[in-house]
Each structure stands twice: as C-alpha cells, then as structure tokens.
Amino acid sequence: MKKLVREKKKAKRKGGRVARFSISMEEELLEAFDSLIARKGYSNRSEAVRDLIRNRLVVDEWEHAKGDVVAAVAVVYDHNKQIVVGRLMELQHQFQKHIVCTTHVHLDENNCLEVVILRGKPRSVREVADKLVSLRGVKHGAIMATTTGKELV
Ligand code: NI
C-alpha cells in the first residue's frame, strides 16, 4: 500500500495519475514472467509491465510516427581496412542532416567502435542505420531504436 502511495506521488509530480488494474494469466506464464523480471533486476511487477508497455509504444512510434525518432547505431570494424573507414565517413557525410553526433573509441590496435546517434523520420533513420551496420567490413553492428521521449509518459 505504501508503495502505491509512493508511486501515485511520483506520477503526480510527473503530471499523470496512477491507475490500477488487474491482469489474469496462466500461472505458468506468470511464473516465467516473475523469473525473468527477477533476473533482470526489477523490484516489482508494475515496473516490469510499465517497461513492456513503453517498449511496445516505442515500436508503434517507430512504425507510425509523424515526428522524429532516435536511434543509436554501434559498429565495430578494423581500421586497417581503409575501405570500411572511407565508406563509413562517406555515409556520414551523405546523411549528415540525420546525424546528431558520432563517438569513436579505439578498442585495441586494430578495432574501433563507432556509435552514431541518428534523429529524423523513422524511414530515414532506419535507412541510414541499416546502411551503417550492413557496410562491408563492419564486423558487428547493432541498432538501438528509441524515442525522442515526447510521445512517452
Ligand atoms: Ni579507432
């Protein structure tokens, strides 16, 4: 009960009101969920369910957003392969209006990590992100698609 009061106060500070609802599901499903959220370090089910809902809303925002979305793209490559360095640079200049910033980390003598933050319409951001990770010579690439936060509570 104390927790609910605390959450209500927190939500009020954010400008929203907390609603309470109950969910019915098979025991096995709930056990699996509890085990997952314990491993992930959630302190309670409510926080875990809120995160699931927010994740789904971000996916929807990506599919239908009229406004901007954001993505962080990480690529790992060998800088001795000049062709990949050149292509990465070329791409970033070509799509510079979608690129907020780039961080470069020298991982060891050969490997570099570049994280590119993109912002723009979902289709454009997806296009640039896909081009970055699929560049020949990129050993590993990952896209973290997220939101500007405007549409999210
Ligand atoms: Ni480097």
pLDDT tens per residue across span 37-92? 999 999 999 999 999 999 998 888 888 888 899 999 999 999 999 999 999 999 99
CA–centroid distance, 60 to ligand 1, in Å, is: 36
pTM of the model: 0.76
CA–centroid distance, 4 to ligand 1, in Å, is: 49
SS3 content of the chain, % helix, strand, coil (to 5): 50, 25, 25
CA distance 132 to 148: 21
What SS3 class is residue 8?
helix
The domain segmentation of the chain, as residue ranges, is 26-64, 69-147
Are 109 and 57 contacting, i.e. CB atoms less than 8 angstroms apart?
no
In CATH terms, is domain 69-147 a member of 3.30.70.1150? yes
